[in-house]
Amino acid sequence: MQKRSILLDPAGIRQLYSQANEDNNAAITNSTKMIIDTHKLNLPRCQSLLLDKKMGIIFTKASTNTLVKRFISWQACNFSIPAFIMHDLYHDQAPRHIVPFVSGKQILLPLGGYVHSSTSWIVLSNLISYHCFGKNRIGLQFCKKHAPDYTIIANHQEFERTYRSALIIAEIESQLVEQLNKEFPSSFISATHSQMRQLYPDRTAPRVSFQNSLTAYTDKIVEDTLAYNSSLINEEPDQLYLTEVKRAIKDKHERLR
């Protein structure tokens, strides 16, 4: 059992790397605790480390940004909703380069900006608590049986702001779900399914992807906006230009800010 906290400075990260197993198919799962960015350390065949409750320590050639993108692609929501909420919270002062990812209970907390380069992330569902030690040292506790497992070097105020933002986003998403639950009680859902099976036994309900629906909704807003702007000068939007704008917006929503 680990008895003392490991400081995640370059020396501490190299220590973890020496104990790690390589897996270039590694992915963020429910048992992942942290994803540590190592791209500046020039470790052989290693761009990131995964600290996992079941698998132990894993190193991989995939960057933390790549691992996070893959993880997000499997979730119900993409980065759009957290980014919109963050902008609403902070308005023009929004720290757009440090946006936590929140999709239900799946919360990833970035430890820095990730626009220009990768950063490390915490899987919040596996973090029991954190402790401020002063001098930009924050202890992260992932196990109930002992003191903080790891100590990161981070500004306490910035860390708390990101942590608080993640909880606010989760709270707002929860409120939205609660409102939908009131509008769609289980009795109504069951009755709808039953009537569909009775009236249309040969019809199979389409599988709905919330991410795809959100993309289609965004595309429609873009189309309507460009069509309106063109109508002001008695023109129609060029289809090639429309496609390029939609592609640019889609790329912006799918990439890590």
**Where are the chain's structural domains?**
6-178, 208-257
> What pLDDT shows up at residue 192?
85
Buried b (16+ CB within 10 A) or exposed e, 175-184: eeeeeeeeee
CA distances from 102 to 133, 169, 192, 242 (A): 27, 7, 30, 30
> What pLDDT shows up at residue 43?
96
pLDDT tens-digit series, residues 151-195: 999 999 999 999 999 999 999 989 988 888 888 888 888 888 888
The stretches in the chain having pLDDT less than 70 are: 1-3, 92-97, 115-116, 205-211, 213, 252-257
